[in-house]
Amino acid sequence: MDQRVEHVPHAELPGAAWQGRFAALGPAFHTELHPTPVPAPYWVARSAGMARELGWPADWWQAPEALALFAGNRVAAGTRPLASVYAGHQFGHWAGQLGDGRAILLGEAVAPNGDLLELQLKGGGLTPYSRMGDGRAVLRSSIREFLASEAMHALGIPTTRALCITGSDLPVRRETLETAAVVTRVAPSFIRFGHFEHFSYSDQHAELRQLADFVIDHFYPACREPAAGQPGNAYAALLAAVALRTASLMAGWQAVGFMHGVMNTDNMSILGLTIDYGPFQFMDGFDPGHICNHSDPTGRYAYNRQPPVAFWNLMALAQALMPLIGESDHALAALEPYKTAFPQALQARMAAKLGVAEPREQHHALAESLLGLMARERTDYTLTWRRLTEHVAGAPADTFTELFVDRAAAGHWLLQYDELLAPVPQGQKLDLMQKSNPRFVLRNYMAEQAIAQAKLHDFSVLQDLLAVLERPFDEHPQHAAWAGLPPDWASSIHLSCSS
């Protein structure tokens, strides 16, 4: 492993203050190492919004050391780069020890509001946890993750973020020969369910407790204060808090028609964030059983199975925490609220898509009826909800019903909708719908267009797409084509775990 890197003076970096709380946990949790340099790096994309949240100036990327730093060719003084160890269940089977096989954590940058945000290089080179991998990421997958991270954030769904992508013409083999890239990911923490599984399954219970205390102290301090009638077990309270965040996350995914594709326990964030974008997809034609990952032939992670799989993963986390929780009844009680929190959160989101702020059972039934119509005809998910929004704004009924083959059924549903929601003031209804039904999502074909041009070192489509996805509820008339139906060739796009 090439360890020839340069150290950059701390004061010259845009993030002048660095911390390393995870690094301080000790060698049982990670291996400290430097990223492996790439030849002739170049900028591919940058998120100005993420840079603002870090408190960095607009021209931060023009600093002479910035490109080298985020390509992994230099290491900033004050950082302690590392790869963490974790384990996990993959496609329902215990996979044993895993870890950051191609991600290297630089450290924590201090944001202007005092928050600490971890910066991680994905594609930074070999680590002790790479197993049979090469430690690299490719341009294709890096662009998909970069765009998806910023798109999900703009949709209001918890997610890791992306600061930038650097590229290199270094060849990397996947199914075909591609070129290397490094995406800089940002999150309060990249700790996963699998981190807890690693220490629990290896009987390292002291480290398991150390990790749980770290997460509670820094991210869930309220778990130290037992609620009335609760057993006062901080670790059971942690499990309950994670379950509630996960329930909210699943509701967010389902409401926008998002499929993760690889919901292994090592891809589940302890903070309830969307993490590790691989073969993800935003729904085109609505199919509740749609499988977006061709490496998932049984459909374990199909769209309609994501909520129960999330609960399965929470059960795995509960099992990992049992040495700390002690009583199985406490763990089961901690998980029980998921069963009501998820449907409540999803019903609230779906009601908002209808324009209802205070949903009742009839609103839930109305949404389910529309989803049934859409499923029968594979009607475009995003476009259907946006056309309903346009109808409320004053567009004729045909704007909505023309999406359906059975226009009579669609028209009947629309009459029911208009009648049920007639008491809701139009302005109130429309405001909520315009904030809940995006005009743009990151469809696979859009990402493919950006990738195709980026391979030619033309990043203009990527920049246009980022600008649209950062404001997905706006009109963007100059990019109206991206708000319409996907082209026919989009259905031939196949995604796998290498995507």
**Catalytically active residues, by annotation:** 266
Distances (CA, A) of 153 to 158, 213, 247, 467, 472: 6, 28, 17, 13, 10
Half-sphere exposure for 1 (CA within 13 Å, toward CB) = 16
Q: CA-to-CA distance for 282 and 444, rounded, in angstroms?
A: 8
Q: Is 320 in contact with 193 (CB distance < 8 Å)?
A: yes
Q: Residue 275 — φ and ψ, nearest 5°?
A: -140, 150
Q: Is 101 in contact with 135 (CB distance < 8 Å)?
A: yes
Q: CA-to-CA distance for 198 and 96, rounded, in angstroms?
A: 8
Q: CA-to-CA distance for 187 and 189, rounded, in angstroms?
A: 5
Which 3 state secondary structure label does DSSP give 409?
Answer: helix
Q: CA-to-CA distance for 274 and 292, rounded, in angstroms?
A: 16
Classify residue 232 by burial, with Cβ atoms within 10 Å: 0-12, 13-18, 19+.
Answer: exposed
Report the length, in residues, of the chain. 499
Residues forming a β-bridge with 185? 120, 162
CB-CB neighbours of 252 under 10 Å: 21
Residues forming a β-bridge with 165? 45, 183
Enumerate the H helices of 18-174 as residue ranges. Answer: 48-54, 66-71, 139-154
Q: Is 219 in contact with 271 (CB distance < 8 Å)?
A: yes
Q: Is 437 in contact with 392 (CB distance < 8 Å)?
A: no
CB-CB neighbours of 470 under 10 Å: 17
Q: CA-to-CA distance for 313 and 129, rounded, in angstroms?
A: 22
Distances (CA, A) of 13 to 16, 68, 79, 185, 486: 6, 11, 11, 17, 42
* DSSP state at residue 327: -
Q: Is 190 in contact with 105 (CB distance < 8 Å)?
A: yes
